[in-house]
Amino acid sequence: MTEAHDHTFPKAEKVWGKKNVDLLFAKGRWGSAGEVKYCYVSEPGASSPKTVRVMVSVPKRFFKRAVKRNLLKRRIREAYRLQKDLLAGKDLSLLFAYNCDRVLDFGQIYSLVGEILRTVSAKLDAAD
């Protein structure tokens, strides 16, 4: 399988660790697309190969039951996994925060995540 068609989501592509999460919230740039907010921070000059690291959040204040929160997180991760080639060659951390009190179907989430990825890619290209 070539990297352009590699639709996996390994641990190396996940934001983890207090230091990385704190950096994302402290220096990140916020935006929103419909019912999904996003925050990203570009990390140029990292010694590792260029990767996009992703974090997904569904707040408890909207969905008290963990079953629905987990469903939405799975849908957002799957939508990202299928479209992650839109950010190929970038080095950044990205947070998706669900910001709605109703459960959207996968098609709606897929289009919102795609819109976010295209927006972030365009902003990073404009900054270069």
**Residue 46 confidence (pLDDT):** 54
Percentage of the chain beyond pLDDT 70 is: 91
Q: How long is the chain?
A: 128
Of 28, 51, 52, 31, give the one whose Cα is nearest residue 40.
28
**Which domain, by its residues, includes 120?**
3-127
Q: How confident is the model at residue 5 (pLDDT cuts 50, 70, 90)?
A: low
Using an 8 Å Cβ cutoff, are 76 and 14 in contact? no
The string of pLDDT tens digits covering residues 90-111 is 889 999 999 999 999 999 999 9
**Residue 10 confidence (pLDDT):** 83
Using an 8 Å Cβ cutoff, are 79 and 110 in contact? yes
The CATH number of residue 49's host domain is 3.30.230.10
Using an 8 Å Cβ cutoff, are 97 and 73 in contact? no
- Strands 52-57, 29-33: pairing is unpaired
* Average pLDDT over every residue of 17-45: 90
Total count of domains within the chain: 1
Tell me: pLDDT of 121 over 60: yes
